[in-house]
Homo-oligomer: A and B are copies of this chain.
Amino acid sequence: MSFALDPGLTRSAAAILDLPLCTVLLKDDARWPWLMLVPRIAGLRDVVDLGAEDAAQLMAETMRAAKAVAAEHGVQRTNVGALGNVVPQLHVHVIGRWSGDAAWPGPVWGVDGKVAYADDARAARVARLTARLAP
């Protein structure tokens, strides 16, 4: 079995960059700077299934993503979560949050609605994030 992104993830997010372990996706929702990291390991579902070395690398890449998101304008807090109750393939969310955002202080998962990016706003966000993320 070879690795492939779960269609449940790519339905609402698009890959923007590969890090050594993870493919990084940007969620299609302009309300937050929102990345997802997916380790390119076929069949991986839960954090408990990670080996120690992959876990350490996933954490290093998560920290990198958190710093990239935290540098976006207005971000006061980074939320990090691995849930997978809906899409089982292991994926780590990294989301920039601020007081008064569309879900504050609750979690963003399960919040109704979605705001599409304007093309140029998405391109500018991707350019900033990939520049900060690039190894």
Q: How far is the CA of A62 from the CA of B107 in the complex (A)?
A: 20
CA separation between A62 and B80, bound complex, in Å? 13
Main secondary structure of the interface of A (DSSP, over half): mixed
Task: Decide yes or no whether A104 CB sits under 8 A from chain B.
Answer: yes
Q: Which of A76-106 contact B (CB under 8 A)?
A: 77-86, 88, 97, 104-106
Q: Is there contact, CB below 8 Å, between A85 and B59?
A: no
CB of A46 within 8 Å of the partner chain:
yes
- A19 CB to closest chain B CB, in angstroms? 15
Q: Which of B50, B97, B109 contacts A63 (CB 8 A)?
A: B50
Contact A79 B85 (CB under 8 A): yes
Interface residues of A (CB under 8 A from B): 46-48, 50, 52, 55-56, 58-60, 62-63, 66-67, 70, 77-86, 88, 97, 104-107, 109-110
- Whether the pair A83, B59 counts as a contact (CB closer than 8 A) is no
Q: How far is the CB of A118 from chain B (nearest CB, A)?
A: 27
Q: How far is the CB of A14 from chain B (nearest CB, A)?
A: 23
B residues less than 8 Å from A56 (CB atoms): 56, 59-60
Shortest CB-to-CB span from A61 to chain B, Å, is 11
